[in-house]
Structure 1
Amino acid sequence: MNITLDIAALASAILYPLVILIVFILFRKEIPLLIKSLTGRLTGLSFAGISLDLAKAEEFSPNWLAQGALDLRQKAQAANVNDSTAGNFRSILETKDDVDYVIVNLGRGKEWLASRLYIMSIIFENRKGIKGIVFLESTKNTRKKYIGWAEPEKVRWALANQFPWFEKAYSEAYGIILDQGAKIINSEGRLGNSYDPNSSGYSITLLENFLKKIQSPPESPPLPEEEIEWVNLPSDPLNPTHTKEHTCWLNGQSLENTLAEVLITENIKPSSQSSEAIDKQVKMALISSQKFIAVVNEEKQFSFLVKREKILEQLLPD
């Protein structure tokens, strides 16, 4: 039996956590200053000769409810996805902003449908390069309470596992787009064509076809025993047809159950806590392999995400 050792990989696996621990021990007294700045207005911090840029992740904030816009949360029926109602959605997809994450506020459980989160996680990752989806909810005592964040691809597959008809509908809708001449124009799966690679038209059509596959009409109505799996969509004065969608509403509890281990709930709270608690949180954040560190306040209201790699690359030696 031959055993091959990758010395470089082995050394990296052993030394990387060790270096992080050494940095934590050496600068444990200064680290609370970092936490204070995370919830303040500082854009940079310097200690022990190290210049530390507090690299906030850039938030993508689409206007879900703009006039004539396509509301991805719940109200976008397939019949309404046309040039006038998709205008805002198209502009969102075509903006050049360098963003990292998008916020999904579940409210009290009647704000987002699982199907809309599923298709958004695919299209926004491919078109916008979104790396994280932050989930919030409203409780009796707290608005915009932080639930956790997850990578779009993992959100997609977690939802597909619980709602397998989403994946079937998406596959069929995707096939229609390819038959219509769409091309995959980059390694991230973006759809386009040789004439206008940045056009969002195919993404709009993909969304429209996906919704058609999970709505009734145009698809066949659900059987009586299946009614529990369908949601009555809000009526539209421009489209009085009674429409059902094969999905369900999401709240904080159902989201946690669906996403399970892919939902990252760890966070850092303000520096009003004891230094021991702060030290523990920072140490956990530094040794984590996740892209972002969530910052929340004492009421666990979400503030922002911080890019963990931007902090570590300045703390660790070259």
Structure 2
Amino acid sequence: MQAFYDFYREYAQWFYSSQLLLAMFGMGATSTVQQFRDVFRRPGVIAMVLALQFLVLPGLAVAFSWSTRLEPTVAAGLVLMMSLPSGALTNVVTFIGRGNVPLSITSTCASTAICLFATPMVIEIFGAREFPDDFQMPIWETIQSILLLLLLPLVAGMTIGHYWPSARQVLGKVALWGSIIALAGVWVGALGGGQIEVLQYGFRTPAILAIWVLGTFYLTFALMSVLRFNKANAFTLAIECSMRNGNLGLALLIPLFGELTPENTLHQGALYTCLFSGGAMLVVGLITVTRRHVRFTMQRRAGLDQI
């Protein structure tokens, strides 16, 4: 395993980039142009989701970090996570949870498209307190990473899926599993190689991050319920707002913070936040899906159709 850890330390960026590229290619292979056109059919809902993703929740993340006295480097990672769009995982969780899949895909497409400009802007505005005074936002490098690792593989997957529709599902599954393997490599390399430790910030920090992930889901779900969305749509939009594309966050770590070294505490903290928050988001998604399935089963036995 030591050989792998040495390889990971030298080629960490390759792991970061490949898992995002494969995930977005797989999403593109199973998406259609019509799904992107649907963005314009729900302008009000999509605008609300984008405002929550790129304005409201990043601002709340800053306030939450300040009020809980979160470790500054971890807080910087939290701001980074909240500046990211939603990803393909939200579509999967929505599908399994019997939410509104077309709405989920539409929201993800809109979020992905706008992040080319929104993500650097959010980091620049909301990261002022968490990042060092001498930190300079590498706007062009960030835009370049989003363009090359997110939008281009998405378009490539859609193009191949369009002209080779019989291979859509196979390409999507292969790319998804490739992304999972690369992400597992990040976990193994970072944890096993000693670059980060699960409890390097103690018990309090991971507990705070878990509270944030859980809180953002239920906060947005409650908001959607107040706005009179049905439960399926409220669940879908809450997933879109609370679960972010942590794969993109990993790919942006080196452009933003430089190479991962023992002295680079900002990269360490952001990497810790991306990995832990991504895992917490997945757990919250699975918990909510399980609860919805239990509720659906109980209501079906009672003769009801909706959840």
What range is the shorter-chain TM-score in?
under 0.3
Structure with greater helix share of residues = 2
Q: Normalization by structure 1: what TM-score?
A: 0.21
Structure in which a larger fraction of residues adopt strand? 1
Larger radius of gyration: 1
TM-score normalised to the size of structure 2?
0.22
Q: Relative contact order, CA 8 A, sep 6+: which one is greater?
A: 2
